Structure 1
Amino acid sequence: MTEPEPSAPEVSPFRAELREYLAHLGVERGLSEHTLAAYRRDLSRYARFLAARGREQVEEVTEADVSAYVEALRAGSDGGHPLSTSSTTRAVVAVRGWHRFVTLEGRSEHDPAATVRPPSGVKRLPKAISVAEVDKLLAGASMAEGVLGLRDRALVEVLYGTGARISEAVGLHVDDVGLDRGAPSLRLFGKGRKERVVPMGRYAVEALEAYLVRARPVLAQTGRGTSLAFLNQRGNPLSRQSAWAVLQAAAERGGVQAHISPHTLRHSYATHLLNGGADVRVVQELLGHASVTTTQIYTLVTPDTLREVYTASHPRARG
């Protein structure tokens, strides 16, 4: 039995091409439903924009059309909400991917989006929290009552101790947890279902073991039965929204002043590894980044450290 293809945007006259591209992303590329929904929204808006400009065939679209769309996204002149630089970049990536797909499939002889680039903006550095703040967050997680305290502590330890994305953490199955004291690890599935195995430290191992042995069986009694590791109070899989709420509550109880999100812990994991001397390519593998360029942004987080090393090491740094 074949899986149903993602529904295409209800937009003419590009409905067939968009449906095929979304099916390609879902089946061939293995993108998540969340990512597919974002592509669907972005391409629906693009198709409406093209239709308003009188384009009825993909091969009629010009580079000027694509460039005008980028400007419309920033200004909201197409009737939609103005988008930030990051959201515009995401939309342009969707448009470029669609045109490339259509060209490779032989539906068009030229790719009008090939040379169109998203707007450049100020690169925002990831916001990491200090080790002391991580300790406060963990203490706050442990303050939850009973089995939920064990679960919350384990969740925070996993997010900070492995750099897992929130989707990877809530998608973790019990069988993906290796608590072998010699080489404890987690098997995580990232974007496009790309698999990686990351090591765990003692604190994460102890927290996960306590949760899986003493808390999860209690929570699972009221659920419908699932192999996913993290469960909610009803014994069903913990959602990303609920996991986010766990972090917010832990931060409040622990007196953490900094803004906390699942990505905060992932950023902190990477930053603290690099501060400790880890090679950027090792951190790239641990984070599951396809390119080391993505990981290198974390090296910009600690200019003070770079200055200290330079001052202490270079013979012409001190006058």
Structure 2
Amino acid sequence: MSNSKSQSESESESDSIGYFLEDIEYHGRNERTVAAYRRVLRSFESFLEERFGKTPVEAEYRDCMAFVHDLRSNYTDSTVASYASYLNRYYGYLVRVGQHDENPMELVLEEMNESIESNPSRRDISLAEMRTFVETIRHPLHKAIVMTFLKTGIRSGELCNLDLIDLNLGHDGQSWHPRAQIAEKPDTLYISAEHSYGAESGGTVRRASNKRKRETTIPVDDELRRVLLRWLAIRPNVRSPSEPLFTSTADAWGRRITIDTIHHIVEQYAREYGWLRTGGGAAENVTPHYFRHFFTTHLRDRTGDRGVVKYLRGDVASDIIDTYTHNWNDRVRETYLEHIYSITDVESN
């Protein structure tokens, strides 16, 4: 590390930000880049102290989001994105050295990339076009995966982590007992907040993480219910204590589906349909991540209720989550079932 720093500067960096700057310099970042990181992180540090009386180590998602919002009033979108990436790397470092339990910038970046507002940078697919696309999918597993994405807006990792007990279809032929949280709520899907990559939960080591801070219960409408029942009729028997909802029907017969497999399935259909090409970016290609954007955009426009959509997406907002969780039948479920779009049954839409 350079010895040209003044004593006062060295002392001012004898903290988490200082150690992080040393780390990136040791890993080959040039002086100009380190200076840019220093400027942004020190600005963030001052913002937190003045606005919330917190240090960067104490900051949470809402604090980071507030800083990004403040940046937007002074900088272009591309500059804000760059500065947000600086914070993301900094918090990744804090997690790595054990100074922070999790990276609060991960969700901030996700929200920036999946803005609840209309995102003109993404391919604009109408409901009619999506219906035609889904008609090309015949395999019961593949259709169940795509329809679950389109009807719930969940992430790929969350879909992989679904177990049978996370689904209550209230069906006479249902051979499993749903978990307690949804045992009295037929036609409901439960998204856990517990599953983390590499950790054991539900009797199995998870290979994907659920990025939700709170559990979420999502209604299952008649259309998704039919698709899931069709899949369950052919679903391979498995000997896993966790009984995954979605399992492979190819090489890894009967094993829990993986994120890689999901991406392969979706991208195969998207490529054949002309919605994906090698080298195409998020503005052009349709991937599993796109379905979450589609769900957000179309359901928000139909309901006019951002709160319900944010709840279903699993976005972190304690006041929204608490209000809607305790008011399930009166607000979320009724709003969802009244406004959710139809994909395979046009007449009922």
Deviation at 1:200, TM superposition (A): 1.7
2:128 aligned residue: 132
Is 1:202 paired with 2:202? no
Shift of 1:91: 4.0
Equivalent in the alignment of 2:64: none
RMSD: 4.4
For residues 166-315 of structure 1, what are the structure 2 equivalents within 5 Å?
A: 166-180=156-170, 183-189=186-192, 190-191=210-211, 194-212=214-232, 214-217=233-236, 220=237, 227-232=243-248, 233=250, 234-254=253-273, 256=275, 259-291=285-317
Measure the CA separation in 2 of the matches of 1:288 and 1:280: 12
**For this pair of structures, how many residues does the alignment match?**
209
Query: In percent, how many aligned pairs have the same letter?
Result: 20
Contact 1:137–1:256 (Cα < 8 Å) also in 2: no
Q: Which string of whole-angstrom CA distances, capped at 9 and with x for unpartnered residues, describes residues 33-64 of structure 1?
A: xxxxxxxxxx98961416879xxxxxxxx998
Quick check: 2:270–2:287 contact (8 Å CA) kept in 1? no
Equivalent pair of 2:151/2:295 in contact (CA under 8 Å): yes
CA distance in 1, matches of 2:304, 2:170: 24
Do the aligned residues in 1 keep the contact of 2:169 with 2:188 (CA within 8 Å)? yes
**CA displacement 1:58-114 (0-9 Å, x = unmatched):** xxxx998623889xxxxxxxxxxxx99747624413415766999x89xxxxxxxxx
For 2:155, the aligned partner's letter is R
Q: Which runs of 5+ in 1 are unaligned?
A: 1-16, 19-42, 54-61, 71-82, 106-117, 143-148, 293-319
Q: Any residues of structure 2 matched to 1:19-38 within 5 Å, and which?
A: none
d(CA) in 1 for partners of 2:135 and 2:156? 20
What is the aligned partner in structure 1 of residue 176 from structure 2? none
TM score, norm. by length of structure 1:
0.53
Match for 2:140 among 121, 140, 150? 150
Q: Is the 8 A contact 1:154 1:207 kept in 2?
A: yes
**2:303 alignment partner, SS class:** coil
Q: Structure 2, unaligned stretches of length 5 or more?
A: 1-14, 43-77, 101-108, 172-184, 193-209, 277-283, 319-349
Write the distance in 2 (CA, Å) between the matches of 1:63 and 1:161: 46
Answer whether contact 1:273 1:283 (CA < 8 A) is retained.
Answer: yes
Q: CA deviation at 1:167?
A: 0.8
Matched residue type, 1:49: E
2:191, 2:217 within 8 Å by CA — same for their partners in 1? yes
